[in-house]
Structure 1
Amino acid sequence: MTGAVAARTGDEMSGPALLVAGLAVTGSPLTASWLLAGLTVSAAAGGPLLGVLLDRARRPGRLLACCLLGYAGGLLLVLYGLGRVPDAALIGVAVVAGLLGPALTGGWTAQLPRVAGPERLSRATALDSMSYNVAGLAGPAVVGLVASAGGGGATVLVCAGLLVAALPAAWSLPPVRSRPAAPAAVPADPGSPAAADAHPAAHGSPAEGGAAGRGRAVRAELVEGFAVIWRNAPLRRATAGSAISCCGLAMLVVSAPVLGAELTGESGHGALLLAVTAASGLAANAAIAAWGRVRRWDRVLAWGTAVLGAGMALAAGAGAFGAGAFGAGAFWAAVVAAAVAGAGEGPQLTALFSVRHREAPARLRSQVFTTGASLKITSFAIGSALAGPLAAYSASSALVAGAALQAAAVVVLMAGRREKGSPTEAPR
């Protein structure tokens, strides 16, 4: 978990650090924003491919370590080139580095069953989700402190240092001992995890020892991984619903500084709202970890998304009534709303990981996680782009749109669920 916290804090720092460094060196907000866009937009392409490579690797931890080193190296190259080489070349470097981004999120989480084991997986997943909350709290805060003390360039150096600090933990992750054995009978549901693992020969498992299986094309495995997500109903709902929700979450992140400025006259209070959201999510996940085993993660995923949407709607209401005599009270109402949003966002993430661990075939788990991560990163980037014009009009408009996206995500997460639970979910 120490390595995960270091890697994810560095990941959370990377975007703001590039923004601060780009603005400090070039003085151009356009260049700074394009560097951030380059770092995030390529995740959609990098995630699925990284997942295939991790699933094929005998020592996936060493591949993760290479990704950490490559990501840190890309950030340092951008820092070194600022003011020395054309902006277009630096944006290209950011795009290449961004291809490795999903390894810091979904790629790391996919290795959890090899470390925790099935009996401790539920609690370990909650702790893993907490590492995202810790990183979400620490990353932007560290950027602010380092930028104030040492300038924009120092933020990138600290970010790279955290990524490098996670290398030993990634390198020491256990190897893949064996591939799943073929069951006696093939399940009827072609989208179930067992069905995808039923015939290793059909998927080119290394366990079969055949040269044809080992030489299976990466493109075929990419198609196979997407097919598993599409055919498996819980995975399909979780992937689509979480992507929609992440688009809405971007509305909260972008509008928080605007809301802080509208209610108090200081945009810095918006950072406080985001910190409250992250802290609330951390507390909620700590409660889940202490509580123990949860059997119906699909329901937690849907309810967490609904609570997140309710928090955003409350924040929109605080912004709408923040003028005049209601100003001071409205800010504290926004703080409460941020806490409600975090109480939903934290368990939502834990539930999403738990559904993926439960439903993903063992030999395709990394691809399922990195593909899901890349879709969420891309969705967040789209939401951020949409939120800008809305927040410029008013923070409440962006928050209402975000709450509406959470409602749409809940509809997707609930659609098609059978009354007595999915085949892989405990009966009610």
Structure 2
Amino acid sequence: MRAFVAAAGCARVADEMVGVAVVLLVLDRTGSPAMAGAMVTAYTLPSVLSGPLLGAWLDRSRYRRSVLAFGGVLLAGACAGILATAGTWVAFALAALTGVALPLTSGGYSSLVPHLASADALPKANALDASVFNFAAIAGPAAAGAVAAVSPDAAVLVIVGLALAGAALTGLLPPVPPVEREREGLLATVRAGLRHLARTPPLRGATLTSVLSLGSVGILATALPLRTAELGAGTSAAGLVWAALEVGCLAATLLLGRRLGGRRVELVVYGCTAAYGVAMLTWPLAGSLVVLLGLALVAGTVEGLALPGIMATRQRHSPPELLAQVATTGASLKVGGFAVGAAVGGWLVPSAGPAAAIAVVAGTQLAAAGLGWLAGRDRTNQS
């Protein structure tokens, strides 16, 4: 797991930097919030289609390490190109190209965890995997904001270096053999995985909640920089807000993540998402950056177990031959939701203001929890 933490950590920190560094780069070059939000959309939206295919491929492949490493190399090359072409259609094309491989960074690495840990150690390994996510979500935006305060170009160059380091470290992971299964075409495997995800109530409900939750959070990619500017802290201070949010998530994961279990673990996803929305309703009331950081810390703490909760739900309710596909499909749907949210934020924030946009995000968290709970009810047993 040490090699896993190093490889996944570098890859995920690089990925988490993109949403802040690229937004600040485009704002610096063009001054357009709509264009900045559109760049995030271009980076994240292609994963909606690529996730199921990449997951099915990983389940069948003998070269998982090479596939995951290629994702890092692709991100490094695309960011180097974006640095030279920001504000043009070429930059959007490069963002979309590397976005195809985005599910590998999240679901792709997570699908390896059951192969690297024993059944008894799996809850602890899931908590460690979630902690890597949380650490990356802290370090990525914070590093992007800090470096971008000096130079947005330098922040993008840091992404290039971390992505290449993650690709190199992925080669140190132990080989993971493909899951034995009946020989069938790739598309047939994709269909089987999608049917399983749609027809399994706990997976269906938890996935819907997580997609709607992260989708609305995409609005914050544009709202937070402008909100921190309103508070007199500058746009780059948005990275600190993201970091405070994830510090709370990390604390909750480290303290309680390894104890996460039970037959209805998906209920943790619904409960944490609802609590997240309630906590976020206080953000528009913040009168200073310090207060906003404190409120973000509280919101992250109550939301923190949602991530290990969705991981445990996938593992509990997915057969081994479909786990990678379920993980990458869930990740791609979440990222696709984030892309839509970022696009919505591009027009919502300038028209309604950042505080109102944040209130919309908070309300959507509550709706996501309720809709997921309804979708996750097992009507067969109830009838």
Superposed, which structure 2 residues align to 1:394-409 within 5 Å? 394-409=353-368
Alignment coverage as a number of residue pairs: 375
Q: The residue matched to 2:305 in structure 1 has which SS?
A: helix
Alpha-carbon separation, structure 1, partners of 2:144 and 2:227 = 21
Name the residue aligned to 1:412: 371
Alpha-carbon separation, structure 1, partners of 2:19 and 2:293 = 25
Bigger relative CO (Cα 8 Å, ≥ 6 apart): 2
**Aligned-pair CA distance for 1:140:** 2.0
Alpha-carbon separation, structure 2, partners of 1:13 and 1:300 = 28
Q: The residue matched to 2:121 in structure 1 has which SS?
A: helix
Name the residue aligned to 1:104: 105
Name the residue aligned to 2:173: 173
> Which residue of 52, 77, 87 maps to 1:48?
52
**Aligned-pair CA distance for 1:59:** 2.8
Change in 2 beyond 3 A, CA 1:396/1:154: closer
> Which residue of 237, 247, 268 maps to 1:279?
247
> Which residue of 33, 40, 48 maps to 1:36?
40
- Judge conservation of contact 1:301–1:352 (CA < 8 Å) in 2: yes
Q: Residue type of the partner of 1:386?
A: V
The percentage of aligned residue pairs carrying the same residue is: 31
Alpha-carbon separation, structure 1, partners of 2:376 and 2:107 = 25
Name the residue aligned to 1:378: 336
Name the residue aligned to 2:94: 93
**Aligned-pair CA distance for 1:379:** 0.7
Change in 2 beyond 3 A, CA 1:161/1:131: same
1:137-181 superposed Cα distances (whole Å, 9 cap, x missing partner): 2112222333344x333322221111111124322333344646x
- Judge conservation of contact 2:35–2:346 (CA < 8 Å) in 1: no
Name the residue aligned to 1:15: 19
Alpha-carbon separation, structure 1, partners of 2:10 and 2:24 = 20
**Aligned-pair CA distance for 1:108:** 0.8
> Which residue of 81, 85, 100 maps to 1:82?
85
Change in 2 beyond 3 A, CA 1:156/1:57: same
Superposed, which structure 2 residues align to 1:303-318 within 5 Å? 303-316=271-284, 318=285
Asked whether 1:231 is paired with 2:199, we answer yes
**Aligned-pair CA distance for 1:28:** 5.9
Alpha-carbon separation, structure 2, partners of 1:63 and 1:377 = 19
Alpha-carbon separation, structure 2, partners of 1:268 and 1:58 = 42
Q: Residue type of the partner of 2:156?
A: V
Q: The residue matched to 2:175 in structure 1 has which SS?
A: coil
Alpha-carbon separation, structure 2, partners of 1:112 and 1:228 = 20
Alpha-carbon separation, structure 1, partners of 2:330 and 2:133 = 15
Alpha-carbon separation, structure 1, partners of 2:106 and 2:138 = 16
Asked whether 1:347 is paired with 2:350, we answer no
Q: Residue type of the partner of 1:42?
A: P
Larger radius of gyration: 1
Change in 2 beyond 3 A, CA 1:347/1:253: farther
Superposed, which structure 2 residues align to 1:6-405 within 5 Å? 6-22=10-26, 26-27=29-30, 29=32, 33-79=37-83, 81-82=84-85, 87-149=88-150, 151-177=151-177, 179=179, 200=181, 205=182, 213=183, 216-263=184-231, 266-267=234-235, 270-289=238-257, 292-295=259-262, 296-316=264-284, 318=285, 327=287, 334-392=292-350, 393-405=352-364
Q: Residue type of the partner of 1:310?
A: V
Q: The residue matched to 1:119 in structure 2 has which SS?
A: coil
Alpha-carbon separation, structure 2, partners of 1:402 and 1:337 = 15
Alpha-carbon separation, structure 2, partners of 1:252 and 1:344 = 18
Higher mean C-alpha deviation, range 171-180 or range 129-138: 171-180
**Aligned-pair CA distance for 1:268:** 5.2
Alpha-carbon separation, structure 2, partners of 1:158 and 1:87 = 22
Q: Residue type of the partner of 2:145?
A: G
**Aligned-pair CA distance for 1:389:** 4.0
Q: Residue type of the partner of 1:53?
A: W
Change in 2 beyond 3 A, CA 1:110/1:266: same
Q: Which structure 2 residue ranges, 5 or more long, are not aligned?
A: none
Alpha-carbon separation, structure 2, partners of 1:375 and 1:293 = 24
Alpha-carbon separation, structure 1, partners of 2:269 and 2:42 = 30
Alpha-carbon separation, structure 2, partners of 1:314 and 1:18 = 28
- Judge conservation of contact 2:11–2:162 (CA < 8 Å) in 1: yes
**Aligned-pair CA distance for 1:362:** 0.8
Q: Residue type of the partner of 2:64?
A: P
Structure 1's consecutive aligned runs of 4 or more residues displaced over 6 angstroms after TM superposition are: none
Q: Residue type of the partner of 1:146?
A: V
